[in-house]
C-alpha cells in the first residue's frame, strides 16, 4: 500500500470519525489502521483506536494504542483519562502500578494528575459527593431512616433536604434511594440523574442508578452506569460486583473476572461476589477454579443459597464429577425448589447422561419458573424433537416476541425456535429467528475474520522447514490417545462415539488441553515460534504434560479419545510430542457443515466466526488450507473420514475407521448409539440415535437464505459453481 498524503490522512480520519458517529466501529477501526500503516506517529489516531476498544467493552485491547498515544503526545490529558478508564475497568494490580508510575512522571496539569491519582488512592473505595451546603448531621439522620427500612419517612426527610439544598447531590441521592426502595422507579431515576448532573463523579449515584436499571432489566443502561461508577471509584465493591454480574448476563464473562477479583481483594468474605466470580469462571470454562471458588462461597455468611450450590454443581458436572454434581443439584433444590439454576442445571446433567425423559420434565418445570430465560429453551430443544402442532413452538414464538426479553435470552431462544421450526418442517420460518439470533451474537461478540487468516498464516510459517519424518524427539511419552479433529459440527462427536464404543476406549470428550498447551508453546508475544527451533525438551514436555493430565483424569482406561476439534491446527507438533497418537480428521460437505454451525450457539467466546455466513465460508477455507498442508508433508500421520460416506455405508466405513485407530474390530462400534457414556456437545441427542441420512444435503432447503455463504464457497472453489 502506497503511503497516504497528508490530505488523504485528513480525509480518512474524518471519514473514520463519521463512521464512529454512525456506530460503524469496525469500519472506523479499519480506516484508522490504514492511517497507522501509512503513518504510525499520529497520536490522535491511536487514541481513537483505544477509545473504540473502550466504548465497545474490549478493554484489554485498549491498553496498547492508548500507551502509544501517550508516548507520542505525553502531555494530553484526554489520553491519560482514557488510560485511567482502561486500568479501572480491566487493569490488574501490575497494570495499575505501571500506569500510576508513568502518570507521576507525566507533565500534566497538577489538578488533573492529582484527581486521577486520588481515584486510585484516597477515593478508590468511594467518592466524596457535593453536599451543596447540607449539614452532615442532617444527612446522617436521613441515611439512618433508610438503613432502618423506614423508606417513607426517609423520602419525606430527603425531599425536605432537597428543597432547602437543591444543589446537594448527596440529598438527591438519598431521596432517589428512598424512592427506589418504595418502587417509585421513575422518580428514583430522575433524582439519581439530577445528582449526577450536579456531580458527574459521584460514584455512589452511578452505582445505585445502575442497580435500578438492572432491576428493570435495562442491562445496557445498567452497564453504562456501573462503568462510570467503577471508573470514578475503581475499588467500590458494590459497583465492581454489579458490573461483573451484568457482563456475565450479556455473555461477556471474561470481562467480569478481573472486576470480581478486585472486589474480592477488598472484601474476600462477600458471598455475592464469590458466587458471581464462580459463575463467571464456569462460563469461561475454568471449571477447577470455579469449583474451588464456589465451594468456599457457600461457607461464607449468606453464601449457602440454592443458586450458589447449583452453580457449584454445574462446575462439578463439567469436571466429570457427576455424582457430586447430582448430590449438589438435589441439595440446591432442597434449599430452593424453584431455583432456575438448580432445575436447569440438573436437567442439563440428566440430558448429558442420556436420561432424556427426566431432563424434559425438569426443563419444562424451569421454563415455568423462569419463562424468559432463553438458554433453558435452547438446551431443552437439544434433545426434544418437535412435531407440527407441538404447543412448545407457539409458546417459544410468544416468548421470543416478549418486549421484556434481554438480548442474551432472545438470541438463545432464537436458535431454539429455529430448531423446533425445522423439526416441524416449517422451513420457510426458520431463518427469521436464525438470522436474528446470529446477528445478536455478532453484536455481542464483534469479530474480524482477518484475525483467523493471520493465525493460519502464522501457524503455517511456524511449521515450515521441519523434517517431520526425520525429526526424532528424545524423551517423549508412550501415551497413545486417539485425537478426533475437524470442523465444528462436522460429525466429530459421532466419530468419537463410535470409537468410544470399543471396549478398550474411553471417550474423553472435547478436552482442549493439548491444543491449549501447543498454542502456549508456540505463541509468544503475538508471534508463532518456529517448530524447527524447538528443543527436544520442549516438545517432549508438551506430550508428557498432556499424558500426565489425561492419566490423572482417566486412570483406569487403556486408551482415550480426545475430540478437541482444533487439534488439526497443531497436528504435526502433537505427533512429534506423542509419537503413538492417532489422528482422525472428519470432513463433511461444507454446505451442510457450515449450515449446522450457523444453526447453533457455541460456548461463550468460542467460534466467533460462526455467526456470519461469509465468515463461515472463509473459515472453511482456512480448514482446507491446513489439512492440505498436512496432507502434503505428513499424509500418513492422519486418517480422513468423510461424513457422507459413513452415513451411506456405515459398516464398511466404521471398519476402516476402527482399523485406522489401531484397534481390533468389535461389533459394539456399530451399536454406538447404545453407548451410555456422558456426552456434553451440541450433538448430545443425535449420537444416541442410529445413523440417519436426514442431515445430508439439508442445505438445499435453504438455498435462498444461504446465498451469501454459498456464493463465497463457490468463489473459494470449495463447492461446484
DSSP codes of every residue in 317-341: HHTT-HHHHHHHHHHHHHH-TT-HH
Helix-then-strand count for the chain, H and E: 35, 7
pLDDT digits (tens, 9 = 90+) for 258-278: 999 999 999 999 999 999 999
pLDDT digits (tens, 9 = 90+) for 564-589: 989 999 999 999 999 999 999 999 99
Mean residue pLDDT across the chain:
92
The pTM of this model reads: 0.76
Between 617 and 698, name the one with better pLDDT.
617
Is residue 120 pLDDT above 80, yes or no?
yes
Task: Round to whole Å and give the CA distance between 721 and 718.
Answer: 9
Task: Round to whole Å and give the CA distance between 348 and 360.
Answer: 9
pLDDT for the residue 655: 94
By CB neighbour count within 10 A (0-12 exposed, 13-18 middle, 19+ buried), where does 34 fall? middle
pLDDT for the residue 685: 47
Q: Percentage of residues in the chain with pLDDT exceeding 90?
A: 79
Per CATH, the number for 136-234 is 1.25.40.10
Task: Round to whole Å and give the CA distance between 536 and 210.
Answer: 55
By CB neighbour count within 10 A (0-12 exposed, 13-18 middle, 19+ buried), where does 496 fall? buried
pLDDT for the residue 457: 94
Contact 452, 421 (CB under 8 A): no
Half-sphere exposure for 683 (CA within 13 Å, toward CB): 23
What is the b/e burial string over 403-420, where b = at least 16 CB atoms within 10 angstroms of the residue's CB? Answer: eebbbbbbbbbbbbbbbb
pLDDT digits (tens, 9 = 90+) for 590-645: 999 999 999 999 887 789 999 999 999 999 999 999 999 999 999 999 999 999 99
Residue 613: partners with Cβ closer than 8 Å, 6 or more residues away: 594, 598, 706, 708, 709, 712
Between 708 and 604, name the one with better pLDDT.
708
pLDDT for the residue 423: 92
pLDDT digits (tens, 9 = 90+) for 232-266: 999 999 999 999 999 988 878 889 999 999 999 99
Is residue 681 pLDDT above 60, yes or no?
no
Per CATH, the number for 450-715 is 3.40.50.300
Query: What fold is seen in the domain 6-119?
Result: 1.25.40
Where exactly are the structural domains of the chain?
Answer: 6-119, 136-234, 385-446, 450-715
pLDDT for the residue 324: 95
pLDDT digits (tens, 9 = 90+) for 338-384: 999 999 999 999 988 888 899 999 999 999 999 999 999 999 998 88
Is residue 99 pLDDT above 90, yes or no?
yes
Contact 298, 308 (CB under 8 A): yes
Provide mean pLDDT across the span 103-128. Answer: 92
Cell numbers placing 295:
465451594
Contact 486, 540 (CB under 8 A): no
Provide mean pLDDT across the span 163-172. Answer: 94
Q: How far is CA 198 from CA 156, 168, 450, in A?
A: 21, 8, 45
Tell me if domain 6-119 and domain 450-715 are identical in fold: no
Q: How confident is the model at residue 285 (pLDDT cuts 50, 70, 90)?
A: confident
Q: What is the DSSP letter of 474?
A: T
How many residues does the structure list for the chain? 721
SS3 543: helix
pLDDT for the residue 382: 87
Amino acid at each position: 500500500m502506497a503511503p497516504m498524503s497528508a490530505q488523504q490522512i485528513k480525509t480518512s480520519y474524518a471519514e473514520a470519525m463519521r463512521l464512529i458517529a454512525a456506530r460503524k466501529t469496525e469500519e472506523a477501526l479499519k480506516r484508522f489502521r490504514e492511517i497507522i500503516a501509512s503513518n504510525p506517529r499520529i497520536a490522535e489516531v491511536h487514541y481513537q483506536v483505544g477509545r473504540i476498544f473502550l466504548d465497545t467493552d474490549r478493554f484489554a485491547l485498549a491498553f496498547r494504542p492508548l500507551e502509544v498515544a501517550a508516548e507520542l503526545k505525553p502531555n494530553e490529558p484526554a489520553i491519560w483519562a482514557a488510560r485511567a478508564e482502561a486500568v479501572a475497568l480491566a487493569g490488574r494490580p501490575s497494570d495499575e502500578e505501571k500506569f500510576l508510575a508513568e502518570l507521576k512522571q507525566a507533565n500534566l496539569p497538577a489538578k488533573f494528575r492529582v484527581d486521577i491519582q486520588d481515584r486510585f488512592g484516597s477515593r478508590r473505595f468511594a467518592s466524596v459527593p457535593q453536599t451543596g451546603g447540607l449539614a452532615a448531621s442532617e444527612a446522617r439522620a436521613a441515611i439512618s431512616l433508610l438503613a432502618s427500612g423506614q423508606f417513607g419517612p426517609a423520602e419525606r426527610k430527603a425531599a425536605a433536604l432537597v428543597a432547602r439544598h437543591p444543589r446537594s447531590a448527596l440529598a438527591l441521592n438519598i431521596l432517589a434511594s428512598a424512592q427506589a426502595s418504595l418502587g417509585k422507579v421513575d422518580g428514583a431515576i430522575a433524582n439519581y440523574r439530577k445528582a449526577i448532573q450536579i456531580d458527574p463523579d459521584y460514584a455512589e449515584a452511578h452505582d445505585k442508578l445502575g442497580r435500578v436499571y438492572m432491576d428493570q432489566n435495562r442491562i445496557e443502561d445498567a452497564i453504562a452506569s456501573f462503568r462510570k461508577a467503577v471508573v470514578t471509584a475503581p475499588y467500590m465493591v458494590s459497583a465492581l460486583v454489579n458490573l461483573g454480574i451484568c457482563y456475565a448476563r450479556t455473555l461477556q464473562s471474561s470481562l467480569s473476572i478481573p472486576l470480581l477479583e478486585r472486589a474480592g481483594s477488598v472484601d474476600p468474605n462477600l458471598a455475592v461476589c464469590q458466587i458471581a466470580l464462580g459463575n463467571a469462571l464456569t462460563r469461561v470454562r475454568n471449571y477447577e477454579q470455579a469449583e474451588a471458588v464456589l465451594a468456599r462461597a457457600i461457607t461464607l455468611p449468606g453464601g449457602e443459597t440454592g443458586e450458589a450450590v447449583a452453580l457449584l454443581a454445574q462446575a462439578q458436572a463439567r469436571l466429570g464429577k457427576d455424582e457430586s454434581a447430582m448430590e449438589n443439584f438435589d441439595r440446591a433444590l432442597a434449599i430452593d425448589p424453584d431455583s432456575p439454576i438448580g432445575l436447569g442445571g440438573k436437567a442439563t446433567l440428566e440430558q448429558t447422561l442420556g436420561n432424556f425423559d427426566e431432563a424434559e420434565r425438569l426443563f419444562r418445570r424451569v421454563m415455568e419458573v423462569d419463562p424468559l430465560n432463553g438458554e433453558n429453551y435452547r438446551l431443552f430443544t437439544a434433545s426434544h424433537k418437535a412435531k407440527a402442532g407441538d404447543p412448545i413452538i407457539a409458546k417459544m414464538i410468544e416468548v421470543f416476541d416478549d418486549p421484556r426479553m434481554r438480548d442474551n435470552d432472545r438470541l438463545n431462544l432464537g436458535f431454539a425456535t429455529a430448531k423446533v421450526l425445522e423439526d416441524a418442517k416449517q422451513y420457510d420460518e426458520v431463518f427469521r429467528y436464525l438470522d436474528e439470533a446470529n446477528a445478536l451474537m455478532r453484536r455481542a461478540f464483534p469479530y474480524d475474520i482477518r484475525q483467523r487468516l493471520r493465525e493460519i498464516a502464522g501457524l503455517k510459517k511456524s511449521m515450515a522447514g521441519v523434517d517431520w519424518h526425520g525429526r526424532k524427539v528424545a524423551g517423549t511419552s508412550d501415551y497413545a490417545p486417539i485425537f478426533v479433529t475437524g470442523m465444528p459440527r462436522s460429525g466429530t462427536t459421532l466419530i468419537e462415539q463410535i470409537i468410544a464404543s470399543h471396549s478398550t476406549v474411553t471417550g474423553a470428550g472435547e478436552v482442549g488441553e493439548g491444543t491449549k498447551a501447543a498454542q502456549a508453546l508456540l505463541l509468544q508475544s503475538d508471534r508463532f515460534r518456529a517448530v524447527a527451533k524447538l528443543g527436544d525438551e520442549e516438545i517432549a514436555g508438551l506430550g508428557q504434560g498432556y499424558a500426565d493430565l489425561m492419566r490423572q483424569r482417566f486412570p483406569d482406561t487403556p486408551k482415550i479419545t480426545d475430540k478437541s476439534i482444533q487439534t488439526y491446527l497443531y497436528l504435526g507438533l502433537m505427533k512429534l510430542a506423542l509419537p503413538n497418537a492417532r489422528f482422525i480428521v472428519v470432513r463433511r460437505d461444507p454446505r451442510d457443515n457450515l449450515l449446522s454451525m450457523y444453526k447453533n450457539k457455541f460456548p461463550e467466546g468460542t467460534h466467533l466466526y460462526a455467526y456470519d455466513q461469509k465468515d463461515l465460508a472463509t473459515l472453511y477455507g482456512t480448514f482446507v488450507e491446513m489439512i492440505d498442508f498436512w496432507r502434503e508433508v505428513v499424509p500418513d500421520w492422519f486418517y480422513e473420514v468423510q461424513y457422507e460416506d459413513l452415513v451411506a455405508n456405515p459398516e464398511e466405513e466404521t471398519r476402516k475407521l476402527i482399523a485406522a485407530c489401531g484397534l481390533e474390530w468389535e461389533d459394539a462400534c456399530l451399536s454406538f448409539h447404545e453407548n451410555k457414556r456422558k456426552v456434553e456437545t451440541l450433538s448430545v441427542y443425535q449420537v444416541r440415535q442410529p445413523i440417519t441420512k436426514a442431515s445430508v444435503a439439508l442445505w438445499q432447503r435453504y438455498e435462498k437464505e444461504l446465498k451469501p455463504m454459498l456464493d463465497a464457497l463457490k468463489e473459494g472453489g470449495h463447492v461446484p459453481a
